[in-house]
Amino acid sequence: MFMKEFKYSLFAKLVYRFANLPVSLILFIHLIYSLAGVRYSGYFIISVIINIMLIILINRFYFKMYKYFPHKISADNSKIICTDFLNKEKKLVISHSSIKKITGGIFSKNAGRPIYITDSEGNMIGIQPHLKDFNKLLTIILSNINKPLYDELLEKLKTSTKAFDKKEKINNKKPAK
């Protein structure tokens, strides 16, 4: 099979790479004003603490994205080639047979979260569901991983589907007002 290429849209790529910059700048400016306000009222310390926590959380999330999320993924029946990280020279090749763990996303009962793939060498990549043809990439990966891992992931999907069905039944039994 030939290599199929998967990329994020331009908008998603911009958000995943640079959205933290204006948000951090705004939070930093607000932090400066809050620090100045502490002289006049002790209540501004709450704003200072919240701003610092938000700056740390947002940038920690983005540093993780810079490290683990490629913006260009090529896959075939034998391997996944990940390029276009924030570090342009970084290139990661993961063989389907060396994948030992897939977590997150639909396997953690939340389809909106990213999927993390870890190989036997400890390399990890993340894939956001906003990737163009995300389901096709996931199909390629799942159809080529080893059988025990596939069975484990299938069991996770079944249990999450049962939990979702149970929740739907409970919500549908509520009387209408």
pTM for the model: 0.78
> What does each of the 177 residues of the chain score in pLDDT, given as a tens digit?
688 999 999 998 889 889 999 999 999 999 999 999 998 888 999 999 999 999 999 999 999 988 999 999 999 999 999 998 887 788 999 999 999 999 988 888 788 889 999 999 989 999 999 899 999 999 999 999 999 998 998 888 887 666 555 555 666 665 555
Q: What is the pLDDT of residue 81?
A: 93
Q: What is the pLDDT of residue 27?
A: 96
Q: What is the pLDDT of residue 166?
A: 59
Nearest to 85 by CA among 64, 67, 60, 58: 67
- Measured between alpha carbons, how far is 125 from 5 in angstroms, rounded to an integer? 16
Nearest to 117 by CA among 109, 126, 108: 126
Q: What is the pLDDT of residue 42?
A: 86
For 112, residues 6+ apart whose C-beta sits below 8 A from its C-beta are 129
First to last CA, the chain: 56
Q: What is the pLDDT of residue 158?
A: 81
Strand order in the sheet with 99-104: 99-104, 115-119, 124-127
